[in-house]
Amino acid sequence: MTQHNNLIKGEWVAGNGYSPNLNPSNLSDVIGEYTQGDASHVDAAVQAARAAFPAWSTSGIQARADALDKIGSEILARKEELGTLLAREEGKTKPEGIGEAARAGNIFKFFAGECLRLAGETLPSVRPGIGVEITREPVGVVGIITPWNFPIAIPAWKIAPALAYGNCVVMKPADLVPGCAWALAEIISRSGIPAGVFNLVMGRGSVIGDALVGHPGIDAVSFTGSQGVGARIAQACATGLKKFQLEMGGKNPQVVLDDADLKTAVELCVQSAFFSTGQRCTASSRLIVTQGIYPKFIEAMKERMAGLKVGDALAQGIDIGPVSSQSQLEQDLSYVEIGKGEGAVLAAGGGRLKLATDGFYMAPALFSESAAAMRINREEIFGPVASVIRVKDYEEALATANDTPFGLSAGIATTSLKHATHFKRHSQAGMVMVNLPTAGVDYHVPFGGRKGSSYGPREQGRYAQEFFTTVKTAYTLA
């Protein structure tokens, strides 16, 4: 069995033993063994990053651009292989895995270009004879903590801007999916980036994550994951006076109006709610449907869902892979019971599936007759479970869509320009989709939410510089 180590100061360093990385489609398939670090490995990685920072932060932008471009090119050239690894360790279908790997490659290429485009401003001073320059500088050593559901794209969309703008990095991937993070680190280690600029420490959040966030040598923390862990990281960063950025959960609404094209509405609801096994922060789990189309919508959803194929993520012709872990499957199934107990009607799916291989398979679940106040409509389930809420009209649909502590993504299916325009303006979400699934976004534009879904500047696109740089204002007497 291949053993994989941490990357610290350009060396592959063993931690304290190894954990097996299991394929959620087939639990007898062990992908590899990945080392478990501790606080001493975090400390060594932070020291290495600090030592590398002075040279890297002042290195030429061409060298940085070349390195990021090389990383992006290699990921794109190996997207099939990396996407297959992703599907094998996380459970997305292989086409989804390949798509995610390609996205990671494109992100590195985008930020290779951004290395050359970091502009400042010059302004006249209000005092005659003085010039004012506003420039951006790297923040320092950035701790990056990522979740399991996008094991290569999320690391990429944090690492690439961090490096592009001259920061050094210590990254901790989700313990469930170290394979893609390790493969990415291996590519970065051969890109020409000096030793210590990028470091990978694998292990449990309670050990590595805590040590990283609390380390005095870390200047900023970029985190994606659950609200609970995010709040804890926020407290630790506030205590240590570190800059931080949190991308967290969602309870994303998908509104369907009476005037929607039924086929389009059903397709985008099925994609949003159930593709990638519903394990996307932007997945829609609340389908808010106006009363005129409601009966037709439920019937059409049931019919479409009956045709969905759940199976081994690597098998051909599969729509939905397994749930990623035993604990996530238990959580999903428990919410099915909670929904039934609350009085919602289980219209389709909802049970564990026994297939040819021993994996965490579940039939996507749809509740009808659910109420906005039910727990299944308030709490993030993070699995293939969606519920339909019947509303009177557009106004009630908008109010219901906004009635949530989250605010990541929101969608509307309608043929009315008036309602689409009003929804785009009045939805309390960071990303709004018209006649498109709530999940599925571009890599060159800002990504992020509002309310309890996000804290701090946006990720991705040019807006990433807000977090990964700090602004300096310089005055010169002419």
Assess whether 115 carries a catalytic annotation.
Answer: no
b/e map 165-204, b = 16+ CB within 10 Å: bbbbbbbbbbbbbbbbbbbbbebbbebebbebbbbbbbbe
**Measured from the CB of residue 230, what is the shortest distance to ligand NAP in angstroms?**
7
Q: Residue 65: which of 21, 110, 31, 32 has the closest Cα? A: 110
Residue 143 found at the interface with ligand NAP (CB under 6 A): no
Q: Which of 18, 53, 108, 148 binds ligand NAP (CB under 6 A)?
A: 148
Q: Which of 9, 50, 78, 232 binds ligand NAP (CB under 6 A)?
A: 232
Residue 107 found at the interface with ligand NAP (CB under 6 A): no
CA gyration radius for the chain?
23
Cβ-based neighbours of 106, under 8 Å, separated by 6 or more: 72, 76, 443
Q: Residue 291: which of 266, 255, 252, 264 has the closest Cα? A: 255
Q: Which of 155, 249, 322, 339 binds ligand NAP (CB under 6 A)?
A: 249
Separation of alpha carbons 396 and 394, rounded Å: 6
Separation of alpha carbons 409 and 246, rounded Å: 15
Residues 273-332 that bind ligand NAP (CB under 6 A): 281
- 6 forms beta bridges with 13
Residue 226 found at the interface with ligand NAP (CB under 6 A): yes
**Measured from the CB of residue 172, what is the shortest distance to ligand NAP in angstroms?**
6
Cα dihedral across residues 217, 221, 225, 231: positive or negative: positive
Per the structure block, which two tokens stand in for 456? 């701090």
Residue 97 found at the interface with ligand NAP (CB under 6 A): no
Q: Which residue has the tokens 């339909």?
A: 388
**Measured from the CB of residue 302, what is the shortest distance to ligand NAP in angstroms?**
27
Return the DSSP state at 127. S
Return the DSSP state at 105. H
Tell me which stretch binds ligand NAP (CB under 6 A): 12-20, 174-182, 251-259, 298-306. 174-182
Q: Residue 169: which of 53, 336, 328, 76 has the closest Cα? A: 53
Q: Which is nearer to ligand NAP, 146 or 469 (CB)?
A: 146
Quick one: which H or E segment has residue 255? Answer: strand 252-256
Active-site option among 247, 269, 380, 459: 247
Residue 161 found at the interface with ligand NAP (CB under 6 A): no
**Measured from the CB of residue 214, what is the shortest distance to ligand NAP in angstroms?**
9
Binding track over 399-438 against ligand NAP, x by CB under 6 A: ---------x------------------------------
CA dihedral 364, 367, 368, 369 (to 10 degrees): 180
Instruction: Tell me the HSE value of 96 on the side-chain side, using a 13 A CA sphere.
Output: 30
Active-site option among 115, 180, 237, 281: 281
Tell me which stretch binds ligand NAP (CB under 6 A): 7-15, 205-213, 264-272, 342-350. 205-213
**Measured from the CB of residue 297, what is the shortest distance to ligand NAP in angstroms?**
26
Residues 371-400 that bind ligand NAP (CB under 6 A): 380, 382
Separation of alpha carbons 151 and 155, rounded Å: 7
Assess whether 180 carries a catalytic annotation.
Answer: no
Residue 233 found at the interface with ligand NAP (CB under 6 A): yes
Per the structure block, which two tokens stand in for 413? 């299916």
Q: Which is nearer to ligand NAP, 49 or 265 (CB)?
A: 49
Residues 185-204 that bind ligand NAP (CB under 6 A): 204
Tell me which stretch binds ligand NAP (CB under 6 A): 49-57, 193-201, 224-232, 363-371. 224-232
Residue 235 found at the interface with ligand NAP (CB under 6 A): no
Q: Which of 106, 149, 191, 368 binds ligand NAP (CB under 6 A)?
A: 149
Catalytic residues, by residue number, are 247, 281
Binding site for ligand NAP (CB under 6 A): 145-150, 172, 174-176, 204-206, 209-210, 213, 224-226, 229, 232-233, 247-250, 281, 380, 382, 408, 453
